[in-house]
Structure 1
Amino acid sequence: MKICGVVLNYFGHEDTITCVQTLVDQNDLEKIIIVENSVNITELDALKNIFKNDRRVEILAPSQNLGFSGGVNLAVNSALDSDFDAFLLLNNDTLVPSNTVKNLANSLIDNRFDIVAPVIYCYPEKHKVWTKGFYYNRFGGLITQRDISFFPGTIFYLSGCCVLIHRQVFQDVGLLNTSFFMYGEDIEFCFRAVQRGFRIGIVDKAYIYHKGNASSQFNSLFYEYHINRGHFLLCNKLSKNITEYRLSFVIKTFSLTMRALLRSFKYKNTNAISGYKQAVSEPSNAIFSCSGETG
């Protein structure tokens, strides 16, 4: 199976170099595309200096930050007409042990799944599981690793942190939805794929380590805005009709308001409240113009 890797860089060339160099050394990928999303010459030069002599590594440098969805789409679009069988989307702050890619690929070769992810452990707390897949309730916006599929409107999805996707999925379902700059696009993509009959799952024999970001970054205004925006966009993208949309919007308005208040108290700042207000009031979100579309 010929696999193309996709790694996005955003002011993290040291992590990116470590991640990509590990993949290169393991020799499981035919090609690795790095999307330099920082739009920063220092970041770009650092990547070029390391990988300039490796033909398997291609660096794409868009003129603006395309976000996660846009960056992934740029890379996949550039290689979709080639003879790759699958695409491995991987966060740059991950560590990939040997045989991980092979174990993921085998699940596609055996025709068990069409989209797969490994067990993702934390780093450096290697004993701690970060995720074995998530459940998302499209009405209330609850995200959990616990199986809550008995609740109406619950979706199982794989994190975009590390996921192997068969090319046929992209050809039939389309690319990631660029309405999402970041946060929520993996939920929407898995939802679309399952709706079209594709199978998603976790490969227990495959695992990676995820460094993650410092906890303070999870309370930046940027983060709070995009998290809230993603939840509201999912009202539109996952609703089957206008009634479902209205129900989802009302419940999420309440739950996200409570979330913002609690996080403002926890972090002793107003970033969560400001991010929520900005997201809920932005017309371009299509929050108030939803027609129950799922595309």
Structure 2
Amino acid sequence: MSPRSAAPRCLVVVPVFGQVEMTHDLIPEILRESDLVDVLVVDNRGDYAPYAAERVIAPGTNLGWAGGSNLGFRIAFREGYTHAMTLNNDTRLSPGFFAGVLDERLPGDAGLIGPVYDDAGGHGWQKAEFDGPAAEYEPVERYWQVPCFDGTAMMISAGAWEAVGELDERTFGKYGWGANLDWCLRVADAGFGIYLTEMSYMNHLGRKTATANTHNLRYLFDAIRGLRGGMSTVYGRKWRDKFKHAPQPRALAEEVSA
């Protein structure tokens, strides 16, 4: 893959279902970097009231996380953005968050990029050493090449999107757990890198929207069943073997364009 050439600009897609106040708390943290990003709220319930300069689209039905994200991605790349990110509304972002994930010192083959955060997200390498408030995070000029990462904040480049297409909405159940893993595998198979950067950090408040509408244990049971069933269907019973290699950190100053 060739290095990025166009000045980066990202459309941040926030799929929501209720929890309007929580989204309102997040919007200013996105828009403080309006020189790099725009924000689109995908209103799956149809009751979102805009807070500031965010765009809002109501699809008229609940598309869920994967479907809402895909809708935003289609809009982003049709409109010429270099990147698009799906971002949960139950997050809080470090200062300079988007400058970090869009840092041009990251390798030129970057297809999927994410932050570190205060939750392991099912993948130990995404857990930051720092576990305090995002507002107090000090960026670290280091990144990791990883086999996969969590879908809470997941940015894809236009090139990777063109190569692999959308998140799989159908295979992984209504909560979409596992669609992020499948996406990572497809992006890697297409020749792109998958990276986490310690320049960006977030707090994850943890499944606030899902558990507001579904009992937590039922949600977890259905989500995990969708993940395991979907991955086994697509990749076979030994799908976990695809994620066994240990990531290694690299300093941003060591970047060599792929």
Residue 218 of structure 1, CA deviation: 6.9
Find the residue that maps to 2:114 and give its secondary structure.
strand
Larger radius of gyration between Structure 1 and Structure 2: 1
Question: What is the aligned length?
Answer: 208
The amino acid of 2:120's aligned partner reads: T
Q: Distance in 2 between matches of 1:225 and 1:204?
A: 32
* RMSD between superposed Cα atoms in Å: 2.7
Letter in 2 for 1:210: H
Encode CA deviations 1:182-230: one digit per residue, 9 max, x unaligned.
2111011001111111100111222111111369767342431232022
Per the TM alignment, residue 170 of structure 1 is displaced from its structure 2 partner at its CA by 0.8
Match of 2:95 among 95, 98, 104: 98
Give structure 2 stretches of 5+ with no counterpart. 1-7, 127-145, 241-258
SS of corresponding position for 2:69: helix
Contact preservation (8 Å) 1:118, 1:132: no
TM-score (normalizing by structure 1): 0.64
Q: Is contact 1:37–1:66 with CA below 8 Å preserved after alignment? A: yes
Of 79, 83, 87, 1:82 maps to 79
TM score, norm. by length of structure 2: 0.72
1:204 aligned counterpart, secondary structure = strand
1:213 aligns with 207
- Code of the residue aligned with 2:200 in structure 1: it is A
Q: Is the 8 A contact 1:133 1:145 kept in 2?
A: no
Superposed, which structure 2 residues align to 1:124-273 within 5 Å? 130-131=119-120, 134=123, 145=125, 156-179=147-170, 180=172, 181=174, 182-213=176-207, 219-237=216-234, 239=235, 245=236, 247-248=237-238
What is the identity, as a one-letter code, of the residue corresponding to 1:196? A
- Deviation >6 Å, runs of 4+: 214-218
Task: Spell out, residue by residue over 1:17-48, the C-alpha distance to the aligned partner (whole angstroms, 9 max, x if none).
Answer: 11112211232444211001124xxx32xx23
Aligned equivalents of 1:108 and 1:171: distance in 2? Answer: 22
Q: Using the TM superposition, give the Cα deviation of residue 131 of structure 1 relative to its aligned residue in structure 2, in angstroms.
A: 2.9
Match of 2:132 in 1: none
Flag the structure with higher helix content.
1
Cα displacement (A) at 1:93: 0.7
- Deviation for aligned residue 1:156: 2.4
Please give the alpha-carbon distance, in whole angstroms, between the structure 1 residues aligned to 2:35 and 2:91. 16
CA 1:218/1:210 → structure 2, altered by over 3 Å: closer, same or farther?
A: farther
String of CA shifts for 1:229-249, please: whole Å, max 9, x gaps: 221111122x2xxxxx3x459
| Maintained 8 Å contact 2:150/2:180 | yes
* Runs of 5+ unmatched residues, structure 1: 122-129, 135-143, 147-154, 240-244, 252-295
Question: What is the rounded CA distance, in whole Å, between the counterparts of 2:81 and 2:229 in structure 1?
Answer: 35
For 1:207, what is the secondary structure of its paired residue?
strand
Matching of residue 65 in structure 1 with residue 62 in structure 2: yes
Cα shift readout 1:138-160 (whole Å, capped 9, x = no counterpart): xxxxxx559xxxxxxxx821111
How far 1:97 sits from its partner (Å)?
1.7
User: In the alignment, is the contact (CA less than 8 A) between 1:33 and 1:59 conserved in 2?
Assistant: yes
Q: In the TM superposition, what are the counterparts of 1:3-18 in structure 2 within 5 Å?
A: 3-18=10-25
Of structures 1 and 2, the one scoring higher in RCO (CA 8 A, sep 6+) is: 2
**C-alpha distance 226-14 of structure 1, shift in aligned 2 (>3 A):** same
Question: Matched residue of 1:157: which SS?
Answer: coil
